[in-house]
Homo-oligomer: A and B are copies of this chain.
Amino acid sequence: VSASIDLNADLGEGFGPWRMGDDDALLGIVSSANVACGFHAGDPLTMARVCASAAANGVRVGAHVCWRDLEGFGRRDLQVAPDQLHAELVNQIGALVAHARVAGTAVTYVKPHGMLYNRAFADRDTADAIVRAVADVDRSLVVLTQPGSAVLELARAAGLPVAAEGFADRAYLPTGQLMPRSRAGSMLGVDAAVAQAVRLAEDRTVATEDGDLPMDVATICLHGDSPDAVDLARRIRAALEAGGTAIRPFT
């Protein structure tokens, strides 16, 4: 049987004169682009260009959304009221929908970024604001986040399509959660990361201290913020394809 999986990465994370990561390289590797929408990173011209490049490369476009925190890149916790968060997400999704349309493509999914991604795992008010924003804008948009997250559960309950993602280069706990970065062994080396990506794609499992664990993911998140990261992303794609796994958009 031939497996297939999606590869996603964060793109368009510059702002004004500043760039982050190698968008061009990643657009040749991934099948889904998480596009920053101006609140934690990104600006309109960058959003327009990433949408155009994604369309040209056959890469799907997703809205990578957060609260407003350019200086902290959305990695700092911020006490945003649910109604404000809802409005900020509606704003970002709507803006990217317009840029995608101009580029001849469409937004197909929404992924929370940074600390919002983390907070949506267990904080149901935050998760609910995300789900309401997606549902209010377009009920066909897929909600993408980590397995077990409250936002996935609430999205599913609201009748929205959902998808979970795995990480190639992070170790998993027996609970299915990511091992905290502070623990030794939390970051996998190149070979282990490639192997984990292949396992995720071919078997939908990950190895943990207590044995293998099912990990039903539709896509694997890759990084591109350093030459090494881009090289790893290329090796993962090559290993997947060598094993007969097709790289296909999950949306």
Contacts and interface: CB of A to CB of B under 8 A. Distances in A.
A137 B101 CA distance: 7
A83 B223 CA distance: 28
Interface residues of A, number: 45
A38 to B, nearest CB: 7
Complex copy number for this chain = 4
Contact of A14 (B18, B41, B92, B99): B18
A166 to B, nearest CB: 25
B78 A45 contact: no
B20 A87 contact: no
A15 B44 CA distance: 18
Given A43-B87, A48-B87, A91-B99, 13 more contacts: A14-B18, A16-B70, A16-B71, A16-B73, A18-B20, A45-B87, A77-B79, A79-B115, A91-B95, A91-B98, A94-B97, A98-B137, A102-B137
12 contacts: A18-B19, A44-B84, A44-B87, A47-B87, A47-B91, A48-B90, A68-B71, A79-B115, A91-B95, A95-B98, A97-B98, A102-B136
Q: Which 8 A-B pairs have the closest CB atoms?
A: A94-B98, A18-B18, A44-B87, A17-B73, A16-B71, A44-B91, A77-B79, A76-B79
